[in-house]
Chains A and B, each alone.
Chain A
Amino acid sequence: MRRTLYLLLGLLLIAGMVLAGCGGKSASSGTTGGNTGGKKEVTVTIGFTESQTGKYNVDSTAQTQGFKLWMEQVNNAGGIKLSDGTIVKFKAVSYDDESKADKVQQLYTRLATEDKADFLISPYSSGLTASAAVVSEQYGKIMLATGAASDSIFKKGYERVYQLYTPASRYLTGAVDMLKANAPDLKKVAFVYENSKFSTAVVTAAKEYAAKQGYDVVLFEGYDKDTTDFGAFINKIQDSGAEAVLGGGHFQDGSTFARQIFEKKLPIKFLALLVAPPNPKFAELGDAALGVVGPSQWEAAAAYTPDAAKAAGLTWFGPSSADFAKAYKDKYGEEAGYHAAGGYAAGVVLQKAIIDADSVDAAKVKAALDKMDLLTFFGHIKFNTSDAHGLQIGHEMVYIQWQKKDGKMVKEVVWPKEGATADLLFPLKH
Chain B
Amino acid sequence: MKSLRQHTSLWLSLGAIILIGAWPLVTGSALSRETMFTVLRSVALASSLNILLGYTGYVSFGHVVFFGLGGYVGFYLIAAQGWNLWPAMLMGGLAAGLLAYLVGAAILRLRGAYFALATIGINEAVRAFINNFEPFGGPTGMTLNFKLYKVYGGPGAALQLSFYIMIGLTLLVVLLSYWVRVSKFGLGLLAIREDEDAAEIMGVTAPSAKTWAFVLSAIIPGMIGTVFFFKNGTIEPGLAFPLHTSIEMIVMIMLGGQGTVFGPILGAAGYEALRDYLLVSPLFKNLQLAISGILLLLIVLFIPRGLVGWLRQRYAKVRRWLI
Contacts and interface: CB of A to CB of B under 8 A. Distances in A.
Interface of A: 5-6, 9, 12, 16, 19-20, 23, 26, 52-53, 95-96, 98, 100-103, 105-107, 109-110, 112-114, 127, 130-131, 133-134, 137-138, 150, 152-153, 156-158, 195-197, 199-201, 222, 224
Given A106-B34, A197-B141, 13 more contacts: A16-B274, A16-B277, A23-B282, A96-B288, A102-B38, A106-B276, A109-B31, A113-B31, A130-B143, A138-B155, A138-B159, A197-B238, A224-B128
B281 A23 contact: yes
B155 A137 contact: yes
Nearest to B273: A20
B120 to A, nearest CB: 15
B30 A127 contact: no
A127 B283 contact: no
Contacts of B37: 106
Contacts of A153: 143, 234
A52 B140 contact: no
Contact of A127 (B159, B234, B295): B234
Interface stretch (B82-90, B144-152, B171-179): B144-152
Given A95-B279, A130-B233, A156-B146, A101 B288 contact: no
Q: Is the interface of B mostly helix, strand, loop or mixed?
A: helix
Contacts of A98: 289
Contact of A105 (B29, B138, B232, B298): B232
Given A157-B147, A197-B139, A197-B140, A105 B231 contact: yes
Contact of A52 (B38, B286, B295): B286
B25 interface: no
Interface of B: 29-31, 33-35, 37-38, 128, 131-132, 138-141, 143-147, 155-156, 159, 231-234, 236-239, 242, 244-245, 274, 276-277, 279-286, 288-289, 295, 298-299, 302
24 contacts: A9-B298, A12-B295, A12-B298, A23-B281, A95-B280, A100-B244, A106-B34, A107-B280, A113-B29, A113-B31, A127-B141, A130-B234, A131-B232, A131-B234, A133-B146, A134-B155, A138-B155, A150-B140, A152-B143, A153-B234, A156-B145, A157-B145, A158-B146, A197-B236
B129 to A, nearest CB: 12
Nearest to B244: A100
A133 B233 CA distance: 9
Nearest to A108: B34
A103 B279 contact: yes
DSSP majority for the A interface?
helix
Given A53-B289, A197-B140, A26 B282 contact: yes
The 4 A-B residue pairs whose C-beta atoms are closest, nearest first, are A130-B234, A23-B281, A157-B146, A134-B233
A130 B236 CA distance: 11
A6 B302 CA distance: 8
A378 to B, nearest CB: 25
Nearest to B41: A102
A127 B233 CA distance: 10
A354 B225 CA distance: 40
